[in-house]
C-alpha cells in the first residue's frame, strides 16, 4: 500500500509547481493579467515560511484522513453537495469527497496567501475557486454515488435521459435551469394588466391599470435594468413588485427595453439616456398631467435613471418628486466579484471589438453571471439534469434568468469604461452625457435606497455609498433600507409572505466606514421591506385623485396590451 503521507505530499507539491499555476491562469479573467507572470516562479507565489506552514498543515490533515479511512471511520462531510446519504453509505465515496474538500481547502488557502495587489489577488481567488468547484467529485458520474444509484434503480434510463438533456442544452447553448415549457410571458408571468402607451426603437412604455378608486397624484415611473427583461419586477401576481405598487394606489408606468438586434448595434449610452429614460419621463408626465414623477431604478436601471435626472438638472429641469434605487451602483469603487472581469486590457478588447458597432450577446452576459455562482447556477444543474437525468422543476425566477438580453456594443463599452473601470459617474462634471455635464448632486429629490445584504453583484455597502452622492444638501430626506438575501431574491420579497428580514437606521453615517457605522446602529425587522418603500412613495405621492379611467391620452394612445411585444423577443 502506498505511503499516505507520500501521496499527499506528491499531490500538494504539484500545486507548488509553477506549471500547475500556469494552467490556473488560462481563464478569460486571468490570462492577460500582468500578475500571472509572477507565477512562473514558485518562490514568487508565497513566502517560504507561509508555504511551509501550509505544507505541514495539509500533510497532517491528509494523514489523519487516511488513518480514519484505514480504521473504517466515515468522515463527516459538512458540505451540502455531499449531504445525501449515498455519500456516507459508500466509504470510497465519502473518502473521495473528504479528500476533495481537504484539497480544496489547501488550494483556497494557498490562493488567499499569495502576495499580490488586491485586484489581482481577487482574480487569483476567483480563478482558483472556479477550478475548485469544477473539480468536485459530485460533478462526475464515475465519482457521484447518487447518480450511480439512480442509474442502477432506473436500469440505465437516467443516463439516457441525462444525455438527452445535455444534447438539448447544447442546441440551446445554455444549461436549463427551469422547466421553460411551464411559463409564457404574458400568460403566467408579466400578467399585470395594462397598456403600452408609447414605443420607439429602444423601449415600450407600459401604463398599468389602476385597481384602487383613487391614486396618488404623482405617478411612479419604473426603469428596470436593460441587461435583463423587465418582468423580474412582474413575475406572478403573488411576487410582483409592479402589482404591489399598483395595489398601493400608484399610477405605475414601466419601461420595457427592447432586445437589441443588428439594427441597434450602433446605439450609445447617450441614446439610452436621451431616447430611453428621458423620453419615458416626458411621456409619463404628459399622460399623467403631473409636474413631477416618483422615479424608480433597479440595478443598471437605477444608474440610467439617475444619469437621466442629472442631465435634466443640467438643463434646468427637476422632474422627480422622489427617486428609488434598488441594488444600484453610482459609486463603482466596490463592484464585488464582477471586478475580476474589469481591467484596462479586458475593457480595451471589448472596445476594439464593439465600440464602433456590434452586439454584446445576451448568452455571454448570462454565462458571466452564472460564473459568479457556479455551484448554484452551473454544477448543481449538471449533476441533476445530466448525471441523474432529472427534469428541472418550474421556477419563475430561473425562467427569467435564462431569458437573456443583448446589449448594443457602443453602449456596453461606454458603460464598462466610464463606470466600472474609471468610476467617473460619481465625479461631478467629469462625464458629458447627452450634451450635458453630469453632476449627481444636482438632482433635487429625496432618495430611497435599497441594498441586499448578500448581494454579490452590487455589494450593499456600495449601494449605501449613493446616500452621500445624491441630495447632499438635504441628506436627512434620504433613506436607506437593507434587506436579507441576494441581488434578486432580496428585492423579490413580497410583503404578503412575511419572509426574511430587513434593517433600518434613521441615522446617516458619514466617512469611509459609513456603511459599517450605519449597520452597527441598525434595527432588524421581520418580513419584507416593501411596506417601507410604499410609505416612502406615499409621502411623496401628493394628494389622492380619482384613478384614470383609461390608459394614455389623445397624443399617446394605447398601442397594445401589456406586457407588449418587446419583452417577448428572445436573444437566442
CA distance 173 to 170: 5
Residue 259, CB half-sphere, CA atoms under 13 Å: how many? 18
Which pLDDT belongs to residue 337? 86
pLDDT (mean) for 6-31:
46
Crossing angle of helices 118-134 and 91-113, rounded to 10°:
170
Going by pLDDT thresholds of 50, 70 and 90, the confidence category of residue 45 is low
CA distance 196 to 558: 6
Query: In whole numbers, what is the pLDDT of the chain averaged over residues?
Result: 90
Cell readout for 535 is 410609505
Which pLDDT belongs to residue 44? 53
Q: 232-263 pLDDT, tens per residue?
A: 999 999 999 999 999 999 999 999 999 999 99
Same domain, 316 and 453: yes
Is residue 409, in this structure, part of any structural domain at all? Answer: no
Which pLDDT belongs to residue 370? 86
Same domain, 225 and 305: yes
Which pLDDT belongs to residue 572? 66
Task: Please report, to the nearest 10 degrees, the dihedral formed by the alpha carbons of residues 444, 448, 452, 455 taken in order.
Answer: -20
Is residue 377, in this structure, part of any structural domain at all? Answer: no
Is residue 502, in this structure, part of any structural domain at all? Answer: no
Q: How many domains does the chain have?
A: 2
Which pLDDT belongs to residue 41? 40
pLDDT at 218 over 90: yes
Q: 306-348 pLDDT, tens per residue?
A: 999 999 999 999 999 999 999 999 999 999 888 888 999 999 9
Q: Of 474 and 375, which is predicted with more confidence?
A: 375
pLDDT at 163 over 60: yes
**Residue 78 backbone phi and psi in degrees, to 5:** -95, 65
pLDDT at 300 over 70: yes
Same domain, 271 and 140: no
299 in active site: yes
Determine which one of 299, 325, 467, 484 is catalytic.
Answer: 299
Is residue 470, in this structure, part of any structural domain at all? Answer: yes
Nearest Cα to 212, choosing from 503, 534, 518?
534
CB 402: neighbour CB atoms within 10 A? Answer: 20
Query: DSSP characters for 191-231?
Result: ---EEEEEE-SSEEEEEEPP-SSEEESS-EEEE--TTS-GG
With a CB cutoff of 8 Å and minimum separation 6, the contacts of 164 are 389
Same domain, 204 and 146: no
Same domain, 222 and 278: yes
Nearest Cα to 288, choosing from 559, 22, 545?
545
Crossing angle of helices 48-70 and 4-14, rounded to 10°:
140
CA distance 387 to 378: 13
Structural domain boundaries, residue 284: 194-338+424-480+532-568
Buried b (16+ CB within 10 A) or exposed e, 272-289: bbbbbbbbbbebbbebbe
Going by pLDDT thresholds of 50, 70 and 90, the confidence category of residue 513 is confident
Is residue 75, in this structure, part of any structural domain at all? Answer: yes
CB 316: neighbour CB atoms within 10 A? Answer: 6
Is residue 501, in this structure, part of any structural domain at all? Answer: no
Q: Please state, for a pLDDT cut of 70, what percent of the chain lies above it.
A: 91
pLDDT at 72 over 50: yes
Same domain, 259 and 132: no
Which pLDDT belongs to residue 487? 94
Instruction: Classify 223 in phi/psi space as left (phi over 0), alpha (psi -120 to 50) or beta.
Output: beta
Same domain, 119 and 70: yes
Same domain, 200 and 279: yes
Going by pLDDT thresholds of 50, 70 and 90, the confidence category of residue 509 is low
Q: 462-495 pLDDT, tens per residue?
A: 999 999 999 887 767 899 999 999 999 999 999 8
Which pLDDT belongs to residue 367? 86
Which pLDDT belongs to residue 40? 40
Q: 431-462 pLDDT, tens per residue?
A: 999 999 999 999 999 999 999 999 999 999 99
pLDDT (mean) for 137-164:
96
Q: Would you say 538 and 530 are in contact if contact means Cβ atoms under 8 Å apart? A: no
Q: Please state, for a pLDDT cut of 90, what percent of the chain lies above it.
A: 76
pLDDT at 5 over 80: no
Going by pLDDT thresholds of 50, 70 and 90, the confidence category of residue 277 is very high
pLDDT at 500 over 60: yes
Is residue 12, in this structure, part of any structural domain at all? Answer: yes
Give the residue from 153, 173, 206 where a domain finishes: 153
Is residue 461, in this structure, part of any structural domain at all? Answer: yes
Q: Of 438 and 117, which is predicted with more confidence?
A: 438
Same domain, 237 and 141: no
CATH number of the domain to which 243 belongs: 3.40.50.1820
Same domain, 111 and 221: no
CA distance 14 to 231: 48
Going by pLDDT thresholds of 50, 70 and 90, the confidence category of residue 290 is very high
Nearest Cα to 332, choosing from 342, 347, 345?
342
pLDDT (mean) for 49-77:
89
pLDDT at 82 over 90: yes
Q: 167-186 pLDDT, tens per residue?
A: 999 988 889 999 999 999 99
Same domain, 63 and 208: no
| Range list of H helices, 316-458 | 344-354, 362-372, 374, 380-381, 396-401, 409-415
Which pLDDT belongs to residue 15? 43
CA distance 512 to 522: 18
Same domain, 303 and 435: yes
Amino acid at each position: 500500500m502506498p505511503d499516505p503521507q507520500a501521496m499527499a505530499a506528491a499531490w500538494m507539491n504539484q500545486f507548488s509547481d509553477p506549471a500547475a499555476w500556469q494552467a490556473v491562469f488560462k481563464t478569460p479573467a486571468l490570462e492577460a493579467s500582468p500578475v500571472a507572470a509572477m507565477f512562473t516562479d514558485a518562490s514568487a507565489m508565497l513566502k517560504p515560511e507561509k508555504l511551509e506552514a501550509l505544507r505541514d498543515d495539509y500533510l497532517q490533515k491528509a494523514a489523519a484522513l487516511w488513518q480514519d479511512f484505514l480504521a473504517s471511520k466515515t468522515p463527516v462531510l459538512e458540505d451540502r453537495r455531499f449531504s445525501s446519504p449515498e455519500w456516507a453509505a459508500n466509504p470510497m465515496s465519502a473518502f473521495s469527497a473528504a479528500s476533495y474538500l481537504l484539497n480544496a481547502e489547501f488550494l483556497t488557502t494557498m490562493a488567499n496567501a499569495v502576495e499580490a495587489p488586491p485586484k489581482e489577488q481577487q482574480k487569483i481567488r476567483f480563478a482558483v475557486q472556479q477550478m475548485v468547484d469544477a473539480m468536485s467529485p459530485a460533478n462526475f458520474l464515475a465519482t457521484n454515488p447518487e447518480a450511480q444509484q439512480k442509474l442502477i434503480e432506473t436500469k440505465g434510463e437516467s443516463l439516457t435521459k441525462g444525455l438527452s438533456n445535455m444534447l438539448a442544452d447544447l442546441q440551446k447553448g445554455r444549461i436549463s435551469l427551469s422547466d421553460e415549457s411551464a411559463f409564457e410571458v404574458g400568460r403566467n408571468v408579466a400578467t399585470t394588466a395594462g397598456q403600452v402607451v408609447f414605443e420607439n426603437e429602444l423601449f415600450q412604455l407600459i401604463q398599468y391599470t389602476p385597481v384602487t378608486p383613487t391614486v396618488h397624484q404623482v405617478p411612479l415611473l419604473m426603469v428596470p435594468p436593460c441587461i435583463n427583461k423587465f418582468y423580474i419586477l412582474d413575475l406572478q401576481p403573488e411576487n410582483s413588485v409592479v402589482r404591489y405598487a399598483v395595489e398601493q394606489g400608484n399610477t405605475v408606468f414601466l419601461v420595457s427595453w427592447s432586445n437589441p438586434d443588428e439594427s441597434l448595434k450602433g446605439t450609445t449610452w447617450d441614446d439610452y439616456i436621451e431616447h430611453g429614460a428621458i423620453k419615458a419621463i416626458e411621456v409619463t408626465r404628459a399622460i399623467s398631467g403631473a409636474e413631477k414623477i416618483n422615479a424608480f431604478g433597479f440595478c443598471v436601471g437605477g444608474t440610467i435613471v439617475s444619469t437621466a435626472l442629472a442631465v435634466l438638472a443640467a438643463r434646468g429641469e427637476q422632474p422627480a418628486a422622489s427617486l428609488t434605487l434598488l441594488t444600484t451602483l453610482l459609486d463603482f469603487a466596490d463592484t464585488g466579484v464582477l471586478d475580476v472581469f474589469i481591467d484596462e486590457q479586458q475593457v480595451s478588447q471589448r472596445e476594439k471589438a464593439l465600440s464602433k458597432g456590434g452586439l454584446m450577446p445576451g448568452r455571454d452576459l448570462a454565462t458571466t453571471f452564472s460564473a459568479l455562482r457556479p455551484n448554484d447556477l452551473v454544477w448543481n444543474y449538471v449533476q441533476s439534469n445530466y448525471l441523474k437525468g432529472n427534469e428541472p422543476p418550474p421556477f419563475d425566477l430561473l425562467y427569467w434568468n435564462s431569458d437573456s438580453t443583448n446589449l448594443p456594443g457602443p453602449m456596453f463599452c461606454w458603460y464598462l469604461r466610464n463606470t466600472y473601470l474609471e468610476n467617473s459617474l460619481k465625479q461631478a462634471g467629469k462625464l458629458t452625457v447627452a450634451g450635458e455635464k453630469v453632476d449627481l448632486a444636482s438632482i433635487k429629490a429625496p432618495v430611497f435606497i435599497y441594498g441586499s445584504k448578500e448581494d454579490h453583484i452590487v455589494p450593499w455597502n456600495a449601494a449605501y455609498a449613493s446616500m452621500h452622492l445624491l441630495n447632499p444638501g438635504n441628506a436627512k430626506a434620504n433613506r436607506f433600507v437593507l434587506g436579507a438575501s441576494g441581488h434578486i431574491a432580496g428585492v423579490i420579497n413580497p410583503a404578503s409572505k412575511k419572509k426574511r428580514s430587513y434593517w433600518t437606521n434613521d441615522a446617516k453615517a458619514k466617512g469611509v466606514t459609513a456603511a459599517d457605522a450605519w449597520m452597527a446602529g441598525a434595527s432588524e425587522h421581520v418580513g419584507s421591506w416593501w411596506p417601507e418603500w410604499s410609505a416612502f412613495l406615499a409621502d411623496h405621492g401628493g394628494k389622492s385623485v380619482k384613478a384614470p379611467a383609461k390608459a394614455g391620452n389623445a397624443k399617446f394612445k394605447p398601442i397594445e396590451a401589456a406586457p407588449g411585444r418587446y419583452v417577448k423577443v428572445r436573444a437566442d
